[in-house]
Amino acid sequence: MTDQELAQACAKAMYARDVASQALGIEVAEVGPGLADLTMQVTDAMVNGHGICHGGYLFLFADTAFAFACNTYNVVTVAQSAAVEFIVPVYRGEWLDARAREVTRFGRNGLYDVAVERGGEVVALFHGRSRSLGQPVLEEE
């Protein structure tokens, strides 16, 4: 299996078990070793009292892209820490893309950046640190 095929198999297996992403309509557009591009539409349920997308949903969306990117090597990997910068408001009905990219991996750790975009405009930036747990993402047959 190539590195690309492994990344795609890991994403497929993770998505099948990811009830939260499925419930929010998050879709995996592309994955590769250390990267993931996801899409999501802001729904009425995601809008706060100011009429804009709740920051928690933007964080969740970016964190999901981060998770898919850092689990492309068939090693269960989770967030150790993360931070997000909200740049501009996002509104109901808008489509978002989350583009996660690996910055570096060292030992059991990794650093990843995620840009959340609306039509090419960056609306939020996320930085996450991952920690590998040592178990495989893909179940043995």
Give the span between the Cα atoms of 133 and 54, in whole angstroms: 31
What was the pLDDT predicted at 110? 98
pTM, full prediction: 0.95
Work out the average pLDDT over 84-89.
Answer: 98
* CA distances, 105 to each of 33, 37, 102 (Å): 12, 19, 8
Structural domains for the chain: 3-132 (3.10.129.10)
Tokens 């009830």 found at: 19
CA quadruple 133, 138, 139, 141: dihedral positive or negative?
A: negative
Beta pairing class for 35-41 and 27-32: antiparallel
